[in-house]
């Protein structure tokens, strides 16, 4: 299996387009909420493609070099998972020309861009579903959906019973992807946007299109258009079925997120955390482990700082673990400045561009992590070496190593008390001495015969460059 080589050298930034930046107020809807209003499931706040393009230098300065955009196609909602036209950019975000200009600018600045592909279901305003609403069983698009009986009652209260919809939401009729014309339509859409120049797709709820042949053909079509397109699936559990030559290069690594949260929130001890990570690693070929889309926050979950009770220190540690483990790290817009938010829609608040509201500590920490990751290929492509059980006291530790390249030792103190992490002898260590902590120059690594010790503050961590 060939994974696009560029993927390993990326740090992703996920953007919910309506809430990141408003760069062109002329395309705002008339009922737009004021920027920063606590979000609901209905209203828009005016974010657009122009705003994203204007903030590319901000993203580059942070150290990210890839962007994942939540849906941008024509839709009546701010989340845009109920697509009306897969070939049209939502005018509230901009035009096709503006999208192509954004894409060209992003590529010139060194970014890769992937889009959200919502192909399990569409919106009620989608042309084929509208035709069925109008013509019922006489519609030429009758077989595009799973129809039980008429009338469809698509706009009445309650769950969908007359046709199949995603989780019963009437606004999200499910495609019949067994039907050849539907498959062709979706594959043509996927190819069209790859031909426009996007660098891949994030596929929404792909397990609900429970058809291996569909995804094998989807992959073939996309890769024929661009052999270097990255395909990542939204699969929430460890499941090797969805990775490989007939499916995806990587998955949204929610199990990794769960392991990190469990360790820091004292739901798992160090051994349990390591077991969780090893379960993920053992489930997939290692080249795919390295291509996993590793996340702490997204549009579907509470923001990490909120889950940590507002603690910047815990959030910094979580990002250190994320960047130190195998996979492609991602940042959900605003997590780098300490935005808070509960479950959807609260996790979709508008980005506060008033810098007085930012956590500079967290932002600088993530910027440093990005610099370290890009400086050492072992963090991007290296294997992970775990000390044997019983060798580590006072925290967790592991090594990232790549052939003859520099080895990085990572240590973490997932507790609220200062500690000295002690680690029995490591390979290639000098007999004694000190090594600087790339994350914190005030806490060096101390090397003595048969033991390494790392003083760490509460919720602190270390990254140390080991000698050859």
- Verify that 318 and 398 share a domain, yes or no: no
Percent of the chain with pLDDT over 90: 92
- Verify that 386 and 341 share a domain, yes or no: no
As a whole number, mean pLDDT of residues 401-427 equals 88
* CATH number where 61 lies: 3.20.20.80
- For 268-314, how does the pLDDT look when each residue is reduced to its tens digit (9 = 90+)? 999 999 999 999 999 999 999 999 999 999 999 999 999 999 999 99
- Verify that 301 and 448 share a domain, yes or no: no
Residue 142 lies in a domain: no
**Owning domain of residue 81:** 5-120+177-375
Residue 88 — very low, low, confident or very high, per pLDDT cuts 50/70/90?
very high
Residue 334 lies in a domain: yes
- For 194-219, how does the pLDDT look when each residue is reduced to its tens digit (9 = 90+)? 999 999 999 999 999 999 999 999 99
- Verify that 360 and 296 share a domain, yes or no: yes
Catalytic annotation, pick one of 204, 276, 336, 340: 204
- Verify that 420 and 354 share a domain, yes or no: no
pLDDT of residue 41: 86
Sheet holding 230-233, edge to edge: 250-251, 230-233, 200-203, 112-117, 66-69, 12-15, 328-332, 293-294
- Verify that 331 and 399 share a domain, yes or no: no
Residue-averaged pLDDT of the chain = 96
Q: What is the pTM of this model?
A: 0.96
Work out the end-to-end distance of the chain between its first and last CA atoms, rounded to an integer number of angstroms: 32
Residue 138 lies in a domain: no
As a whole number, mean pLDDT of residues 96-118 equals 98
Domain termination residue (choose one: 375, 404, 437)? 375
- Residue 467 has a CB neighbour count (10 Å cut-off) of 12
What is the dihedral sign for C-alpha 99, 100, 105, 109?
Answer: positive
CA angle 65, 95, 13 (to 5 degrees): 20
Domain termination residue (choose one: 358, 375, 392)? 375
- For 123-176, how does the pLDDT look when each residue is reduced to its tens digit (9 = 90+)? 999 999 999 999 999 999 999 999 999 999 999 999 999 999 999 999 999 999
CA angle 176, 179, 181 (to 5 degrees): 110
- Is 234 an active-site residue? yes
Catalytic annotation, pick one of 234, 249, 276, 336: 234
- Counted domains in the chain: 2
* CATH number where 418 lies: 2.60.40.1180
pLDDT of residue 186: 98
Query: Using CA atoms, how far apart are residues 343 and 354, in angstroms rounded to an integer?
Result: 24
Residue 257 lies in a domain: yes
- Verify that 44 and 183 share a domain, yes or no: yes
Q: Each residue of 211-227: b (16+ CB within 10 Å) or e?
A: eeebbebbbebbbeebe
Residue 429 — very low, low, confident or very high, per pLDDT cuts 50/70/90?
low
The answer on pLDDT for 455 being more than 70 is yes
As a whole number, mean pLDDT of residues 51-71 equals 98
Residue 405 — very low, low, confident or very high, per pLDDT cuts 50/70/90?
low
- Is 204 an active-site residue? yes
pLDDT of residue 467: 81
Tokens 């798992």 correspond to what residue?
Answer: 268
Q: Can you spell out the DSSP letters for 126-141?
A: SHHHHHHHHHGGG-TT
Residue 370 lies in a domain: yes
- Verify that 359 and 390 share a domain, yes or no: no
Q: Which residues contact 422 (CB under 8 A, 6 or more apart)?
A: 392, 393, 394, 451, 452, 453, 454
- Verify that 286 and 400 share a domain, yes or no: no
Determine the 3-state secondary structure of 406 from DSSP: coil
- Verify that 199 and 247 share a domain, yes or no: yes
Q: Which residues pair with 170 in a beta bridge?
A: none
- Verify that 249 and 304 share a domain, yes or no: yes
- Verify that 216 and 111 share a domain, yes or no: yes
Query: Using CA atoms, how far apart are residues 452 and 407, in angstroms rounded to an integer?
Result: 15
């Amino acid at each position: 299996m060939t994974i696009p080589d560029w993927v390993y050298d990326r740090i992703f930034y996920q953007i919910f387009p309506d809430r990141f930046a408003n760069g062109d107020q002329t395309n705002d809807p008339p009922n737009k909420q004021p920027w920063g209003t606590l979000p609901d499931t209905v209203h828009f706040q005016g974010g657009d493609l122009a705003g994203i393009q204007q903030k590319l230098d901000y993203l580059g300065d942070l150290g990210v070099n890839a962007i994942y955009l939540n849906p941008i196609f024509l839709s009546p909602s701010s989340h845009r998972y109920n697509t009306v036209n897969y070939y049209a950019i939502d005018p509230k975000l901009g035009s096709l020309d503006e999208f192509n200009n954004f894409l060209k600018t992003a590529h010139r600045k060194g970014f890769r861009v992937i889009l959200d592909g919502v192909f399990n279901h569409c919106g009620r305003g989608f042309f084929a579903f509208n035709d069925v609403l109008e013509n019922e069983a006489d519609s030429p698009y009758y077989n595009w959906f799973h129809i039980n009986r008429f009338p469809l009652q698509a706009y009445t209260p309650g769950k969908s019973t007359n046709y199949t919809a995603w989780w019963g939401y009437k606004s999200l009729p499910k495609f019949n992807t067994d039907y050849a014309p539907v498959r062709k339509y979706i594959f043509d859409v996927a190819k069209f946007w790859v031909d426009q120049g996007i660098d891949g797709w994030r596929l929404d709820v792909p397990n609900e299109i429970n058809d291996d042949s569909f995804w094998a053909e989807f992959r073939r079509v996309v890769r024929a258009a661009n052999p270097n397109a990255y395909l990542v699936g939204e699969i929430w559990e460890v499941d090797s079925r969805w990775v490989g030559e007939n499916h995806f290069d990587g998955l949204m690594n929610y199990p990794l997120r769960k392991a990190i949260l469990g360790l820091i929130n004292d739901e798992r001890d160090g051994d349990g955390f390591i077991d969780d990570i090893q379960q993920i690693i053992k489930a997939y070929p290692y080249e795919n482990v390295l291509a996993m889309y590793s996340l702490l926050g997204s549009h579907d979950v509470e923001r990490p700082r909120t889950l940590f009770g507002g603690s910047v220190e815990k959030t910094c540690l979580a990002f250190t673990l994320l960047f130190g483990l195998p996979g492609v790290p991602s940042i959900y817009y605003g997590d780098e400045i300490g935005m808070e938010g509960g479950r959807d829609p609260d996790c979709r608040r508008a980005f506060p561009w008033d810098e007085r509201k930012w956590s500079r500590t967290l932002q600088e920490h993530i910027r440093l992590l990005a610099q370290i990751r890009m400086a050492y290929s072992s963090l991007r492509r290296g294997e992970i070496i775990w000390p044997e059980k019983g060798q580590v006291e006072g925290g967790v530790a592991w090594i990232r190593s790549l052939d003859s390249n520099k080895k990085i030792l990572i240590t973490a103190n997932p507790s609220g008390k200062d500690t000295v992490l002690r680690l029995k002898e490591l390979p290639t260590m000098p007999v004694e001495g000190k090594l600087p902590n790339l994350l914190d120059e005030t806490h060096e690594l101390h090397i003595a015969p048969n033991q390494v010790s790392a003083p760490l503050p509460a919720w602190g961590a270390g990254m140390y460059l080991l000698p050859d």
